[in-house]
Amino acid sequence: RQININLRGTALCCQAVIPHMRAAGGGRIVNIASGAAYQPLLQQTIYSATKAGVVALSRVLARELTRDKIVVTVVAPGATATAMGKEGAPAPEDFERLTPHMPWGRVLEPREIAEVVVYAATNPSHILTGQVLHCYGGASIV
């Protein structure tokens, strides 16, 4: 199920929009991965693997689609205060245990991730193509 949703779903969405973007003379694709692609979560093997697959898929597409003026960027959120985040942890209390280890003293809010997605989708520059925007709230520096 996770492979179908996370990896296959992303690939199929890209496949569906690319012809329209080519016809329009360019566009922006922003795919969502996860910090789990880089810091694998215990007992989340398939989830981590599918999100790493999204990164690889996106980076290859970015390279292939530059000639079509299509920018492909990945947003990789860290611990975010969502029901999925809570259910994805090995145990519910593990999610709350993350907070003291976050430099800002809290996990990320979905709104914060959405702001990064909007930035990637609307940035007029090609500079973000093939890039992964790691949104961990500084957790990777502790």
Q: How many CB atoms lie under 10 A from the CB of residue 63?
A: 12
User: Could you tell me which residues come within 8 angstroms of residue 104 by beta carbon, excluding any fewer than 6 positions away?
Assistant: 137, 138
User: Pick from 9, 14, 28: which is nearest to 73 by CA?
Assistant: 28
Active site residue 47: yes
Q: Which of 38, 47, 119, 136 is catalytic?
A: 47
- Residue with the two structure tokens 């599918």: 50
Catalytic residue annotation: 47
